C-alpha cells in the first residue's frame, strides 16, 4: 500500500470516527431529553405542579448543562446539587413550584436574586419578557453568564453584586424571585416591586424557613405561607442584619415529636421536604405524645 492509499484510508477512518461521535452525541441528547421528560412527569407533575407553560419549560431546559460534567448522571434526580462555593442548584420540583407561584406572563419583567448556576433564570427565560438576575459570588456569576450565553438565553441579563440592593436601574419589576434566604424581605426589593406584583422568597432563621409568596398592595406586602423549605442564606447585607444568628454548637430539632398541629397551609411545622405526608393521631402508636407522620 503506497502513501496515497494509506492517507486516503486514514481520511476515511477520521470521517467514520466523526460520524460515530456525532451519532453518539445525538443519542446522548435524546437520552437526556427522555430522562428529563420522565423526571418532570414523575416529580414535578406528580407533586402537583399544573401550569403547562412551567412544565414545558422544565422539559426543555437542560439541567445537566448547569452542573459540572461529573454530576451529569445526577442532574435529573429531584435533588439539590453542589455548584461550588457552598452553593447549590435547587431541586427540579422546587424550581418548578416557585416558578408556578410567580404566575408568569410573557410581558413580565422579572428580577432574580441568587443566580447560582443560572438554571432558574433559564427556566424563566421562555416564560417572560426579560430576566434580570444577580449573583453575589463573582466566580458563580461569571460562570452562569457564560452558560446562559452559550445556550442562547438572550433575554437574561446577569450582574455580580449584592442582591439585597436589587437592580434599581431596571425597576420596577413585575415579579421578583429570591433563591436564597434572608431573615425577612429586603426593603429595596419591596420598593422595586411594582404595585400588584408578586415576590416569591424563602424567609426565616438559617435552618427554619418558610417559602412565601408576597403580593404588593398599597405599597405593602400581603403574605401567603406556602411550605417549609431550606435554602442557602442570603449573604452580604442581609446576613449582616440578621437578628437571630445561627448557633451550630447547639443544634436543636424543631417539632421533633410532631405534636404541633398542621399549619393553615397543611404542612407540619419545622420540617422541610414534605411530599405525600400525613399527620397521624394515635396515642398508642405514637412514640411520644399522640402524633406522628407517615410518608
Q: In the beta sheet, which residues pair with residue 281?
A: 291
Grid cell locating 14:
477520521
CA-to-CA distance for 197 and 174, rounded, in angstroms? 5
Query: Which residue, 148, 116, 123, is CA-closest to 58?
Result: 123
Which residue, chain included where needed, has cell 445526577? 74
Exposure class string for 5-28: b at 16+ Cβ within 10 A, else e: eeeeeeeeeeeeeeeeeeeeeeee
State the pairing for strand pair 130-135/156-160. Answer: parallel
CA-to-CA distance for 272 and 89, rounded, in angstroms? 17
CA-to-CA distance for 58 and 124, rounded, in angstroms? 9
Q: In the beta sheet, which residues pair with residue 209?
A: 204, 229
Which residue, chain included where needed, has cell 430576566? 131
Query: Which residue, 59, 99, 66, 93, is CA-closest to 82?
Result: 66
Does the active-site annotation cover 91? no
Query: Which residue, 212, 215, 218, is CA-closest to 231?
Result: 212
Which candidate in 42, 57, 69, 90 is catalytic?
90
Query: Which residue, 103, 95, 142, is CA-closest to 122?
Result: 95
CA-to-CA distance for 123 and 80, rounded, in angstroms? 16
Query: Which residue, 91, 96, 89, 185, is CA-closest to 140?
Result: 89
Identify whether the C-beta of residue 216 lies closer than 8 Å to the C-beta of residue 191. no
Active site residues: 90
Amino acid at each position: 500500500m503506497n502513501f496515497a492509499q494509506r492517507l486516503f484510508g486514514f481520511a476515511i477512518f477520521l470521517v467514520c470516527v466523526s460520524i460515530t461521535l456525532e451519532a453518539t452525541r445525538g443519542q446522548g441528547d435524546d437520552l437526556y431529553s427522555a430522562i428529563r421528560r420522565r423526571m418532570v412527569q414523575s416529580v414535578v407533575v406528580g407533586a402537583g405542579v399544573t401550569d403547562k407553560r412551567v412544565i414545558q419549560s422544565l422539559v426543555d431546559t437542560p439541567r445537566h448543562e448547569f452542573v459540572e460534567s461529573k454530576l451529569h448522571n445526577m442532574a435529573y434526580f429531584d435533588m439539590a446539587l453542589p455548584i461550588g462555593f457552598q452553593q447549590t442548584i435547587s431541586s427540579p420540583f422546587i424550581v418548578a413550584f416557585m416558578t408556578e407561584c410567580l404566575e408568569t406572563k410573557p410581558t413580565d419583567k422579572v428580577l432574580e436574586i441568587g443566580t447560582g448556576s443560572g438554571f432558574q433564570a433559564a427556566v424563566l427565560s421562555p416564560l417572560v419578557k426579560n430576566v434580570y438576575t444577580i449573583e453575589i459570588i463573582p466566580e458563580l456569576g461569571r460562570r452562569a453568564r457564560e452558560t446562559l450565553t452559550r445556550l442562547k438565553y438572550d433575554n437574561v441579563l446577569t450582574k455580580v453584586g449584592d442582591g439585597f440592593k436589587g437592580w434599581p436601574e431596571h425597576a420596577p419589576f413585575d415579579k421578583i424571585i429570591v433563591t436564597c434566604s434572608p431573615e425577612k424581605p429586603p426593603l429595596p426589593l419591596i420598593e422595586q416591586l411594582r404595585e400588584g406584583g408578586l415576590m416569591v422568597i424563602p424567609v426565616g432563621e438559617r435552618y427554619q424557613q418558610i417559602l412565601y409568596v408576597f403580593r404588593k398592595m398599597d405599597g405593602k406586602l400581603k403574605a401567603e405561607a406556602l411550605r417549609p423549605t431550606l435554602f442557602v442564606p442570603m449573604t452580604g447585607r442581609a446576613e449582616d442584619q440578621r437578628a437571630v444568628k445561627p448557633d451550630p454548637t447547639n443544634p436543636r430539632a424543631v417539632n421533633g415529636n410532631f405534636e404541633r398541629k398542621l399549619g393553615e397551609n397543611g404542612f407540619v411545622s419545622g420540617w422541610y421536604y414534605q411530599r405525600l405526608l400525613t399527620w397521624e393521631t394515635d396515642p398508642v402508636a405514637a412514640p411520644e405524645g399522640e402524633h406522628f407522620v407517615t410518608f
